[in-house]
Amino acid sequence: MLTIALPKGRMADDALTWLARAGWSPPAAEDARKLVIPSEDGSLAYLMVKPMDVPVFVEQGAADMGIAGLDAVRERAADVYEPMLLPFGHCRLSVAAPADRPDRPLRLEISPRVATKYPRLAEAYFRGRGISAEFIYLNGSVELGPLVDMADLIVDIIQTGSTLRANNLVELREIMSSQGVFIVNRASYRLHAARIQSLLRALRAVLP
Amino acid sequence: MPPSIPRGVADYFGGPALRRRQLETLLRDLARTWGYGEIIPPIFEYAATFLTELGAQSVETLYRFFDRDGQTLALRPDLTVPAARIVGSKLYDQPLPQRYFYAGPVFRYDEPRAGRQREFWQAGVELMGAGSPDADGEVLALAALALQRVGLDAFRFSLGHLGYFHGLLAELGLDDAAATALQQALDRKSADDVRGLTDAWGLTGRPRDAVLGLLDLFGPQGDGVLARARSLALNNVMREAVDWLVEVEGRLDLYGVKALFDIDLADVRAMNYYTGVTFKAYAPGIGFSVVNGGRYDNLVGEFGPGMPAVGCAFYLDRILLAQTRRQGPPPDPVPDLLILPCPCGDHVRLAQEARDAGLVAAIALGPEDLARYPRRVRCQCDSSLLLETPSGSHTLPVTGWLERLF
């Protein structure tokens, strides 16, 4: 039985829709609190995990495959195969600041406080520009950082920008653009090659 | 003193320590029967040894320190480079080929993951001075048979040849940055990124087909992978890589291990020093390769007269993890016999007789948890002894007691 890790939340619905279109056996209806759900035909197990943890489950081999955001794959620096981009979960990881921030280049910041859920990518971005930022690692509500004067900047995911606007923030720089990506464990790719290839082919056939 | 140990190292004892040594012994004994003698390099060397252009490691992953002369030393990050140094600088004029086995801890300053700490154990074989498909076949077959011997089932090897990718790069005339971008996209098996690059470079025709086709050059032997690879090849370097793999396949067939190998010509991540075939083994339950190897014809030349070489390293920690997933945790070793001391002193002789016969015998030194020992021996000091076993007690004469034991 192959195991696929899916990100709990909005992306899971998209993921399941596309997998169903590709003819994958859907998760059997069960207790919604269960974290491991067998597929209806018993050939697969669905693992429902936090979006940021999908790449970790796949890298470690706890799941053979997964559907994750590219942002999560890069943030966790997961050593996995990424055979297919998926047509959902589009967003970008960006630096944002209060709307009233004076208009000047980021590189003139001396030691900005940066609130983020993405410590690795945020640090790489600022370090790559020679800015010694101070990072404040948060697990959510990152936009709050500047509002309560805990942070000068944030690094966060932006989809439509409405959350930013609601909190009087503006996007300054895009760090990366992200979308859903199908990932496969490096060992599973070989050990279950035929099965995974045929699942991938079925999925590729229905993608736009 | 704090009771802790630094991040990235581990203490081993009991069953896990025993199983680790047994695995190392199994591999050493197997390699010896193939003519591989042991090479025992030092734990640390000059850092420069590992930092040649072809070296194994980037400088950040080396554990470096100074000796009193101000020389920069480094803990060895692998054992292939020391083996190449020893052969290149000392043994180059000895008869070739030379076959070496090694085993021991290596050290890399990177994030611990999946059964690999910062100190981890490798065993491996290096076949120096032979540049033929026969030599590749020998090392590949030895690796496959070793994993069978270890008792990992359902493992698979992936086999590639860097010449195919290098030939492609030469044909495309990409600069270093572009070549790296292609290598990384292939390493992620990201068809979208590979297509994006070919579009960005404006590739058309056969070069475009060759790049886009690379990711499909994966699959079990007999699946036509090599035939497809040959039809996509743009030059002789690429065709020669395919021909070489066909030759190697033939050798694997002779050993009866061919079916364990998949071809993967898009597996282009490898140590800098590899030049020809590369291979990795994967086992169920471990998300990472358990064996890495390949041909490195230029590395020995960094340290002396050049010569072709091929070898592989077993990641012992990961193999042990795979074994534990299959067989459960190793039981702690328990002596076969507990000899209880007696007034006449014959218990020492009984213990020595048992030890000489190859049994593991311990003499009780004080209050012991008797239930830990499957068999206990009490000398009765009258030329007889009482043997206590889970199935009951028996009186045996001291003379010839060992023969009656089992």
CATH T-level assignment (fold) for domain A2-89+179-206:
D-Maltodextrin-Binding Protein; domain 2 (3.40.190)
CATH 3.30.930.10 maps onto chain B at 14-327
**pLDDT mean over B138-144:** 98
Q: What is the pLDDT of residue B7?
A: 87
- Cα(B145)–Cα(B33) distance, rounded to whole angstroms? 12
Least confident of B134-138, B156-160, B392-396: B392-396
For residue B153, pLDDT beyond 90: no
Q: Which of A34, A61, A31 is nearest to A47 (CA)?
A: A34
The pLDDT tens digits for B307-341 are 999 999 999 999 999 888 888 888 889 999 999 99
Considering B108-122, B241-255, B388-402, the range whose residues carry the highest mean pLDDT is B241-255
Contacts of B400 (CB under 8 A, 6+ apart): none
Q: In whole angstroms, what is the distance from residue B333 CA to residue B260 CA?
A: 34
B376 pLDDT band, cuts 50/70/90, is very high
A190 contact residues in B (CB cutoff 8 A): 156, 158, 262, 264, 282
Among B278, B297, B20, residue whose Cα is nearest residue B139:
B278
Residues 72-131 of A with CB under 8 A from B: 79-85
Interface of B with A in 144-163 (CB under 8 A): 154-156, 158
Closest chain A C-alpha to B283 CA, distance in angstroms:
7
Write down the mean pLDDT value for chain A.
93
Same fold, A2-89+179-206 and A91-177: yes
Q: What count of other Cβ atoms lies within 10 Å of the Cβ of residue A128?
A: 9
Contact assignment for A84 to B191 by CB distance below 8 Å = yes
Element housing B72 (H / E): strand B72-75
Burial string for B103-129 (b: 16+ CB within 10 Å, else e) reads bbbbbbbeeeebbbbbbbbbbbbbbbb
Contact assignment for A61 to B114 by CB distance below 8 Å: yes
Dist. CA B391–CA B389, nearest whole Å: 5
What does the pLDDT read at residue B86? 97
- Write out residues 39-78 of B within 8 Å (CB-CB) of A: none
The reported pLDDT for the residue numbered B71 is 95
Which tens digit of pLDDT belongs to each residue from A118-133?
Answer: 999 999 999 999 999 9
Mutate to test the interface with B, among A190, A196, A203, A204 (most CBs of B within 10 A): A190
Q: Over 80: is that where the pLDDT of B1 sits?
A: no
pLDDT at B271: 64
- Distance between CA atoms of B281 and A76, rounded to whole angstroms? 24
Instruction: Please report, rounded to a whole number, the percentage of residues in chain B having pLDDT higher than 70.
Output: 97
Q: For helices B205-213 and B162-172, what crossing angle results, to 10°?
A: 150
The H or E element containing residue B164 is helix B162-172
Query: What is the tens place of the pLDDT at every residue in B21-67?
Result: 999 999 999 999 999 999 999 999 999 999 987 765 678 889 999 99
The arithmetic mean of pLDDT across residues A139-160, rounded, is 93
pLDDT of residue B266: 93
Judged by CB atoms closer than 8 Å, whether chains meet at A190 and B192 is answered as no
Which residues of A, range 145-204, sit inside 8 Å of B by Cβ? 184-191, 193, 197
pLDDT tens-place string over residues B164-219: 999 999 999 999 899 999 999 999 999 999 999 999 999 999 999 999 999 999 98
Per-residue pLDDT of A90-113, as tens digits, reads 999 999 999 999 888 888 888 999
Tokens (6 digits) for A196: 């995974």
- CATH fold for domain B14-327: BirA Bifunctional Protein; domain 2 (3.30.930)
- Report chain A residues whose CB lies below 8 A from the CB of B217: none
Strands B98-107 and B277-282: unpaired
pLDDT at residue B159 tops 80: yes
pLDDT in tens, B73-113: 999 999 999 999 999 999 999 999 999 999 999 999 987 66
Query: Which residues does chain A have within 8 Å of residue B193's beta carbon, measured at their own beta carbons?
Result: 82
End-to-end Cα, chain A, rounded Å: 28
Per-residue pLDDT for B223 more than 60?
yes
**B270 φ, ψ to 5°?**
-155, 165
Residues in chain B with CB shorter than 8 Å from the CB of A186 are 282, 287-289
Cβ–Cβ contacts within 10 Å for residue A9, how many? 10
* Entry pTM: 0.89
ipTM value of the model? 0.86
Q: Say which residue, B112 or B131, is predicted with more confidence.
A: B131
Segment B386-394 shows an average pLDDT of 90
Residue B124: predicted pLDDT = 98
The residue ranges of every structural domain in chain A are: 2-89+179-206, 91-177
B223 vs A207, more confident: A207
Cis peptide before B97 (omega within 30 of 0): yes
Closest CB to A187: pick one of B188, B192, B282: B282
Residues with Cβ within 8 Å of B278's Cβ and at least 6 positions away in sequence, in order, are B159, B160, B161, B162, B267, B270, B293, B294, B295
| Three-state secondary-structure class, residue A120 | helix
* Residues A136/A123, Cβ–Cβ less than 8 Å: no
The CATH classification of domain B337-404, taken from the options 3.40.630.30, 3.30.160.40, 3.30.70.1230, 3.40.50.800:
3.40.50.800
**Where does CATH 3.40.50.800 sit in chain B?**
337-404
CATH architecture of A91-177: 3-Layer(aba) Sandwich (3.40)
